[in-house]
Amino acid sequence: MKILAAMSGGVDSAVAAARAVEAGHEVVGVHLALSRMPGTLRTGSRGCCTIEDSMDAQRAANIIGIPYYVWDFSDRFKADVVDDFIAEYSAGRTPNPCMRCNEKIKFAALLDKAIALGFDAVCTGHYASLTTDAHGNIELHRASAWAKDQSYVLGVLTAEQLKYCYFPLGDTPSKALVREEAERRGLGVANKPDSHDICFIPDGDTRGWLADKVGEKEGNILDSEGNVVGEHRGAHSYTVGQRRGLSLGRPAPDGRPRFVLEVRPVSNTVVVGPKEALDVGEIAGGRLSWAGLPQPHPEQWFDCEVQIRAHADPVPARARVAPIDPNAEVYRVGATEEFVVVPEEPLSGVAPGQTAVVYVGTRVIGQFTIDRTVSATLPQSTLVDAASV
């Protein structure tokens, strides 16, 4: 096959490209330039897709012996990832920019260009596995090493996109073995630390970065009964489940810590309460997709597991797809159905805007962006302000 290897500059993508060559494929390496002002992206081990990473990727491609190019996707990255991040926070949601980058950049813009240029597949260093069922349908599964499994961040991929994906690291038992292999191959990135945090926030200060982009506006912090217990400088800088940095003027009557329960951007208020009030008994969202064929009867309840963060444990649950209540203004324009998931045990600290990925066994069934939650302890649902959407 003719393979386009997406090379981030890290050890995983370098070894994945080398394995693709070893498997007999015709491989071309490409690095994605995501900013026209590289200084605005993270540098060193804390970033990804920086100038340093581009140079590391080029050195790896030279050692592997494959052609190497840099493609400028900065405009798409700003529109589909950075601007989306700002819009989501402004609407009181907590987005995952890495999910949007996978969805819109690495497996949409990049994949589309690769197919147009005649490539058969895009190779990445993600730890996930692809299998084919008895009817030839491709399925996305967890990697063999659950500690490094990255199927969650790939949950946004569709059946059509999976046809063009190639994940050579999916059966590798551990990251340590990948580093050892990189060392044997003479790749200089063998001991390069993994990237962390949000690449387009240079100093890691998300709160300050958002304040610069959307401004600051003082407002009230309320308890669950509506009493004013403090003030904030901008609701966008708070997220559900947050405990630190609340600066509350009135302590709780019982002296226990309080956590953010809701962010209401329309009224510019933040609601806080005890930790147990974070427990959620149902989640639902309308920006859904299927990673492969959907369930035969998705409108019927089926047993599954749900994962709401990249490094969270999966939780047993029941799920179904249902029509959206036309009066539920919390949903984005054009949404007609929602994924509804009821976990066996309450989830904690779930924020609208997070991505929930649904599994059956090791297989990724699909995903959705959480638009609404139903509290397991409070008498009514916890929703984003409808007028903010």
- Quote the pTM value: 0.87
Strands 121-123 and 165-166: parallel
Residue type, 126: H
pLDDT exceeds cutoff 70 at 47: no
Beta-carbon count within 10 A of 341 CB: 24
Q: What is the pLDDT of the chain when averaged over all its residues?
A: 85
Which of 264, 336, 327 lies closest to 299 in space, CA to CA?
336
Secondary structure in 3-state letters for 138-164: EEEEECCCCCCCCCHHHCCCCHHHHCC
pLDDT score for 184: 96
Most confident segment among 58-67, 194-203, 378-387: 58-67
What is the dotted CATH code of the domain comprising 216-273? Answer: 2.30.30.280
Sign of CA dihedral 269, 275, 276, 278: positive
pLDDT score for 29: 97
**Catalytic annotation on 165?**
no
Which of 17, 22, 24 lies closest to 169 in space, CA to CA?
17
Q: Percent of the chain beyond pLDDT 90?
A: 46
Rounded to whole angstroms, the Cα distance separating 324 from 80 reads 25
Helix (H) or strand (E) holding 319: strand 315-323
HSE-CB of 334 using CA atoms within 13 angstroms: 2
The one catalytic residue in 98, 101, 165, 304 is: 101
pLDDT score for 382: 46
Rounded to whole angstroms, the Cα distance separating 356 from 310 reads 10
pLDDT exceeds cutoff 60 at 222: yes
- Average pLDDT (67-79) is 92
Residue that wins the pLDDT comparison between 43 and 372: 372
**Catalytic annotation on 48?**
no
Rounded to whole angstroms, the Cα distance separating 53 from 10 reads 7
The one catalytic residue in 48, 123, 199, 304 is: 199
Query: Domains of the chain: which residue ranges?
Result: 2-184, 216-273, 278-388
Residue that wins the pLDDT comparison between 226 and 180: 180
- Average pLDDT (228-246) is 83
- Average pLDDT (244-259) is 77
CATH 2.40.128.20 fits 278-388, yes or no: no
Instruction: Find all residues with CB under 8 Å of 285, minimum gap 6, and list them.
Output: 338, 339, 356, 368, 369, 370, 371, 372
CATH superfamily placement of domain 2-184: HUPs (3.40.50.620)
**What is the distance between the terminal CA atoms of the chain, rounded to a whole angstrom?**
44
Tell me how many degrees the CA angle 125-316-167 measures, rounded to the nearest 5. Answer: 15
pLDDT exceeds cutoff 90 at 307: yes
